[in-house]
Chain A
Amino acid sequence: MNSSLLCQPLFAQVSRWQRLGDGLHNGRGRLEIAEFWPLLIVLALAAIAIAVIVKVRKRNDMTEHCDDPEKLFRELSQAHGLDRQSRKLLWKLADKSNLAQPGEVFLRPGIFQAELPVDLREQEAAYQALQQRLFS
């Protein structure tokens, strides 16, 4: 008696089952690639976003072993709490002073004053402030 009671609702939906798999049937015809474009674009954007996130995280992950002078510069700037403007000034100073790597600017108090490149003299005051911050 129990089996007959269970079978009744299932048999009641048999019309839906008959439609199952219709889209895959050879007889329905080929799928167009255009139908997948939106999906592909979404996937590509997601991949780019992930790659960007990974790269940014890697760029700022100072615990990872590497040999990257620019990253060292960022690490030092970060440690000293320098803003974008100050970093830019320091980077420019390192560049004009022909230092082997930008991070060396944090170890050379002399280049902020007497050895300050001529074309940076206009911002001498800003450099003096930076020197005060980094070396005194």
Chain B
Amino acid sequence: MSSGLSTTYEILAASRNDAANGALLDALRSTDAEVYDGALRATIARRNKQGHLAVLGMWHRMSAKQRQYLQEGRGRMSGALRDAVLSEEEQLFENACEVVEHFKEFDLVSTLVTLAENQKHTHAEAATQLVHRLVQQLSEMVYGPRDYEDRRNPEALCRFVLESLERSVERFRTHNRSELIEAFVILGGPSSNMLRQIIDEPHHPCYLTVINTLTHSQCSGVVEFLLRSLNSEHAAINILNVISKRDDPKFVQKLLEVADDKLDAKVAKNLARIRTFEWLRQGERGFDNFEEQDQSRCIKLVAASGVKSDEFLDLLEVILRSGHTDARWAACDALAAIPGERGNNMILDAVHDADPMVQAAATRQIRDRHIPNAMAILLKQLDSPHEEVREATCEALAEFSFENFRTSFEGLHDDARRTTGALVKKVDSQAVPGLLSEMEDSSRKRRLRAVEMAEVMGLVPEVTDGMLELLEDEDHLVRAAAADALQFSPTSEVQEALRHATRDRSPAVQNAAKNSLEVFDEMALNDAGPAAAATGGQR
């Protein structure tokens, strides 16, 4: 803008002379863009209702930049805005409604509510819709992320608007505007006593509208209200029914987030009172269309709810069959709490799942569920190419530990010793250290037993060092047993030690050493080479 014109507008904007209003109104009719823009800004800057009304009347023709001028001076225009909202002039009313919505002028809600309640007024319907939209905006401000550019306090605005809406609820019989009740519900949220009162009174004239709004509204305020109700000491059954009926993604997403953390006792108690969820049905909004993370969450949520086990098993079955990987894993875990044949069959299927984590989760449960032929399955799983599965199998066969084998060894007959020993060797990684420890024991009996255990478990090559030390044992029986057992570890070091043992002072040891050396010789003749030596230990 030119400096001359700029000076003129500065004077006109600040002048205490009312004649400036007339001059500016005249300039607002100018076709010169520079003159018009300046007049617009100066008119907005002045405290003159007539000028402001003229500006509002031009809103629909303004550019985005010109509308920005209104944003800057909207604080001075509230009086004109109120008059424009109540104006009979169609264009002015429409413009005012747009301005109110655009600038979120929540102060005008009470005026709009009064207008909306007057059913004979031509603008009542439009005012009702505007109240609804404003309340939705305010609800997002209160319950959504805070916009710090807007310095207004959302809570204070909410209290102010809610007062108007509560008065409107009281007058519901007179105006019958259900949209205003919806607006009240959207904004009322958890803090509104009146809302709670209506929910507890099915005969209240607004009850149906309130429940309908709670069931269908996508507003953050309503979603927040429902979720916070779950956290109350004893949520109203009507609210729980609403929660069970809602299957809209926005709400379901928020509901499933409840399962992210450990469930609070109050939440768990209220969830247990919910018998079903609408989204448990398969379909467009069903759990089968949930994201991977949501499927896992929904399993946790349903597990905590009062949904019947058959229905829960249906859910788990579908997820195990066609769900996402994490969800299938979660489904396996959830099955642990549900005994019975149907669950067993699902676990047996899951053992063959494509994902090793799911296989592992299923494998862990096989023994605890007492599934027939469990041992055969587990033995097969012990040789799985996936480490997770092998680890899970070892967990499932935890009783086949070296410690248990050691204590029960004396009571087992030869075949049982061999089969159990072979299993312990696979299941318990502590078998070798355990054997070595036993070989160092001060008790002769235990040292002898250790040699025998190493033989039946096929672990002689792994404990050769311990065996070589036993060849030097003070007890000739132990030395003889070690010399005998060492035939399964055909290494040059062992051969050397056995040759030395042939000169032992005990004839039993000498014989055992000679026998073992003969075995080595036979092996060398049959199949000379390190490969044959390696298999010797496995015999």
Contact = CB atoms under 8 A, between A and B. Distances in A.
Contacts of A133: 4
Contact of B15 (A72, A108, A135): A72
Contacts of A109: 32, 35
B18 A135 contact: no
A134 B38 CA distance: 14
A65 B16 contact: yes
Interface string B1-35: 01011011011100111111011101100101001
Given A107-B30, A107-B35, A72 B19 contact: yes
Interface in B360-375: none
A134 B19 contact: no
B19 A71 contact: yes
Contacts of A65: 16-18
Contact of B22 (A63, A100, A136): A100
A76 interface: yes
A106 B8 CA distance: 7
A79 interface: yes
Nearest to A105: B23
Nearest to B9: A107
Contact of A135 (B5, B10, B23): B5
Nearest to A63: B16
A51 interface: no
Interface string A75-96: 1100110000000000000000
A25 B26 CA distance: 73
A22 interface: no
A136 B5 CA distance: 7
A67 B30 contact: no
A41 interface: no
A80 B15 contact: no
A54 interface: no
Interface string A50-64: 000000000000111
A80 B19 contact: no
B17 A67 contact: yes
Interface residues of B, number: 23
B39 interface: yes
Contacts of B8: 76, 79-80, 106-107, 134
Q: How large is the interface on A (under 10, 10 to 19, 20 to 34, 35 or more residues)?
A: 20 to 34
B15 A136 contact: no
Given A100-B22, A101-B23, A107-B39, A62 B4 contact: no
B7 A80 contact: yes
Contacts of B26: 100, 104, 107
A23 interface: no
Contacts of A67: 17-19
A94 to B, nearest CB: 11
Contact of A75 (B17, B30, B32, B39): B17
B23 A134 contact: no
Given A103-B20, A109-B32, A134 B15 contact: no
Interface of B: 2, 4-5, 7-8, 10-12, 15-20, 22-24, 26-27, 30, 32, 35, 39
Given A62-B16, A103-B19, 13 more contacts: A65-B17, A65-B18, A67-B17, A69-B23, A80-B8, A103-B20, A104-B23, A104-B26, A104-B27, A106-B23, A107-B23, A107-B24, A136-B4
